[in-house]
Amino acid sequence: MKKGALFLLFFIFFGCKNQTHDPDDSLSDISEKSFRSFKVEDSNYIDLKQFWAPFQDELSIFSSDRYETLKPLVMNQDIPTLQKFIKQGKLRYEELTLFYLYRIKSFDRMNEKSLNSVISLNPNIIKDAKEKDLNRPENLSNFSIYGMPILLKDNINTYDMVTTAGAVALLKNHTDDAFVSKQLKASGALILGKANLSEWAYFFCGDCPSGYSTVGGQTFNPYGRKTLDTGGSSSGSAVAVAANFCAAAVGSETSGSILSPASQNAGVGLKPTIGAISRTGIVPISSTLDTAGPITKYVIDNVLIFNGMIGKDRDDFKSKTVAAIDINVLQQSNFQGKRFGAIQSLLKDSLYTAAVNLLKRNGAKVITITPEDVDLPDFLRLLNLDMKVDLPTYFKWHANTNLPYDGVQSIIDFNALDSLKRAPYGQKLFIGIVADDATNKELESIKSILKTNGRAYFDSVMKFHQLDAVLSINNYHAGYAAVAEYPALTVPMGLSDEGAPKGFTFIAKPHQEPELYAWGYQFEKAFEKRPTPNNYN
């Protein structure tokens, strides 16, 4: 069967790329595709003069010499190291922000290296950074995200910037902050801007490349521009992290949309347990499966962003109170006595085998497993039926009240008025949403069967072998983890012979984020330094 079927969505989508068993061939419409030529590359909706106008004065005096001086202090550093340099007076939050703006201007748009990963910038970011410098607490911990410039995927509402989900229809969607945006700000983070994405979280066109949105253009992978896929749908978030355009980023996933781009851009990506992070104020696909999550260069940064995002949200019916990750416990963890399942069919991958052997050398017990084939019937229908209800709910409660839309059909109608500019790859999946229908009883049955089957895929082998986690690659088993509502963490494990980054992915039971982070942290510490993209240093 085809590899990659459950590679789902923008939040979701790249759930099962290269999976050896394809639970539902219909999911190929929301899977990664091997595009090497593109109908549209650059955005037709971003005015670069207007884009950079708020920062023109400050950037004009931020010299190339100062940029070069700061490079060793900022490039490929983790957040605690950045905080240490700021504490030592070698760096300021304003300079850190200007450094990232300088790199975005140099590499992200309208040149031979353009990545198209940033869709908008916070016009107040320099003022906000100056305020962080003035008000920095004296005894601020290095394990703080205070003053750290963060990019948010452009389906997450922010007060300072429009939220488009990459769609022309939402170019005037000025909103209040999403719950997670408020949480990050309350933790001291700076919202630098919004990251490009696969339009509508890759649940829109069906026959289009991942990383493309009409507003943001085509995102490219810095490890192989136009030769390697970015993954999706949180493509801009992962690319921006890899290219050192921000201290960290936030993506979203329904089924693989964090795990896929994070792994394909040598990043660390967490798809948390559903309910650990609020979804309120995020343009939805599925209230059953959607979640936001951090994408970073290093595990410690991922932990810090996760801690800054969590919080009980009374407006999200799946939201739960989650404890922050204890940094001391994380640093003292090890693999002794841990039991992991390595999937037999993946051991032909040399990077995976090397990662498994590294765990063994560091005290873990690894058991070779072959999970039983499990179908995920009506996966695509679940997304159809959820979005049919969830998008109107977003428009009613969380979008700009002046928008004239009430659901999927109204977006289809808007795009049809100028389809070449608004939907150059078509809108096949949106049309499929409108055509689908089910009773509430049928929908609940679909949800129940998918969750049961997804959990059975992991639980049968985990129970028999008393496993702490299952080991995967990239987002190969993200579809099963999605419907099971199990968390997953991917950590870089090197480059393939073709130069493509790959991720070593831990999948565990619900609310085992502390364990996932401990394993990822120790794996990263024992492994060689993460690869960086050669052409963007």
Q: Does the annotation mark 153 as catalytic?
A: yes
Cβ 356 vs Cβ 347: under 8 Å: yes
- Whether 257 is catalytic: yes
User: Active site residue: 17, 153, 338, 388, which one?
Assistant: 153
DSSP string, 291-358: EEEEEESSHHHHHHHHHHH----TTSTT----PPP-HHHHHT---TT-EEEEEGGGTTSHHHHHHHHH
In whole angstroms, give the CA distance from residue 496 to residue 536: 19
Count CB atoms within 10 A of the CB of residue 64.
Answer: 9
Catalytic residue, candidates 31, 233, 255, 263: 233
Question: 495: buried, middle or exposed (CB in 10 Å: 19+, 13-18, 0-12)?
Answer: middle
* Peptide bond just before 213 cis, omega within 30 deg: no
- On the CB side of 155, CA atoms within 13 Å amount to 37
Q: Where are the alpha helices (DSSP H) in 145-268?
A: 179-186, 235-242, 259-264
Nearest to 26 by CA among 488, 382, 449: 382
**460 in catalytic set:** no
- Separation in Å, CA 312 to CA 115, 248, 338: 36, 23, 31
What are the φ/ψ torsions at residue 195 (nearest 5 degrees)? -95, 145
Taking the C-alpha atoms of residue 128 and residue 134, their distance in angstroms, rounded to an integer, is 10
500 vs 230: CA distance, rounded Å: 10
Beta-carbon count within 10 A of 412 CB: 17
Beta strands (DSSP E) in 395-510 are 469-473, 488-495, 501-507
With contact defined as beta carbons under 8 Å apart, do 364 and 479 qualify? no
**Side-chain-side CA neighbours of residue 506 (13 Å):** 36
Tell me which residue of 205, 168, 202, 204 sits closest to 405, measured CA to CA.
168
Pair of tokens at residue 352: 């995976």
In the set 144, 198, 252, 257, the catalytic residue is: 257
Q: Which sequence positions are flagged as catalytic? A: 153, 233, 257
